[in-house]
Amino acid sequence: MNKVDSLRRDLLAGVDVGGTKVAVLVVNSSYNVLSQVTLPTILDSPQATLASIMQAVQQGVEQAGASLDRVAAVGVGVPGRVDTLTGLVRRAVNLGWEELPVGQLLSAQLGVPCLLENDVTLAAIGAQHYMGGIASRNMAYVSVGTGIAAGLVLDGRIYRGAHGMAGEIGHMIIDPGGSRCQCGAHGCLEAVAAGPAIARLGEEAAVASGNTLLRRYRPVTAEAVYQAARDGDPSATAIIRKVSGYLALALQQLIVAYDVECMVFGGGVSREGDTFLQPILVELARLREHSVLTAEMLKPDMIRTLPSDYDAGAWGAVLLAAEGTVRISSERGSGAALVPFSTL
């Protein structure tokens, strides 16, 4: 990389913070990827979590052959309710944050403007960019990972709702008699179909059955359950069928509520590819058999998954950072040494 004036801030960083990992993407002014870094999310305390985010950003910038004074802005996606103006995060359950001024703390520690948004909202922006075309003007991005949530794009614009909580489908009550969710309710979609729920069901099956392949895995993870299903294990296959039924119900509720043109899966669990998607399509076919309305509104070709190597959350965070440079330049005046970042 050519050396440039250290005051010339010509890089952007996008950060996707999840319950298990922090992913960082560093790009230049032409949106060429300079580095990608993934580190574990440290959940010992709010301070430890913030430290793991900062470490991931610093490592990403270093791997890009640069220093933080080259970074124009950092976009950060976090779970929970985010005040985009102040960077205050509330009720980030999977991170153990009740109320934390994350934007202010990260900006002060990194010495770089840090702009925050809900992680799934940013992933929806990243997915919209990837999809392109007319279908992405009305779409739902559904993230299935440590938690479950949806980012909504309606008429080409992100829809956040009256209180910034639109798309919290992880807390739809899917099975009233199901497991207790971290939110306090029973049978939330997240409690019965997210990664930890799949792992829990796998562990229970491994204990209950002497024949299942799941007994080979310690600990049993969601990835292990899908692998065992690929290997033809009946217990794992039954778990995937059950979880897929819950996810199909959630998609059916999304489509009748918002009448979107496509629904795109992302998140760690969706990276299982066809092993993840095909059972959901089977369950959706069963729903269509019993409902003319569902059959009309929810076609199989509307449901897609993102490529496993495309990090929609990190790309959405990059786009947030690029948008922020416009405001930052305006606030600093004509003397700012920011490279103008165009819209992708």
Quote the pLDDT of residue 165: 82
Quote the pLDDT of residue 3: 40
Alpha carbons 14 and 27: distance in angstroms, whole number: 8
- Give residue-wise pLDDT tens across range 196-232: 999 999 999 999 988 999 999 999 999 999 999 999 9
38 by DSSP, 3-state: which?
strand
Tokens for 326, please give them.
């416009």
The reported pTM is 0.84
Quote the pLDDT of residue 217: 94
- Closest by alpha carbon to 12, among 67, 73, 65, 76? 73
DSSP state of 112: S
Q: Which residues of the chain, if any, have pLDDT below 70?
A: 1-7, 133-135, 326-344
- Whether a cis peptide bond, with omega within 30° of 0, leads into 219 is yes
Tokens for 52, please give them.
């793991």
Quote the pLDDT of residue 334: 44
- Give residue-wise pLDDT tens across range 154-195: 998 999 888 778 899 999 999 999 999 988 999 999 999 999
Quote the pLDDT of residue 342: 54
Quote the pLDDT of residue 134: 63
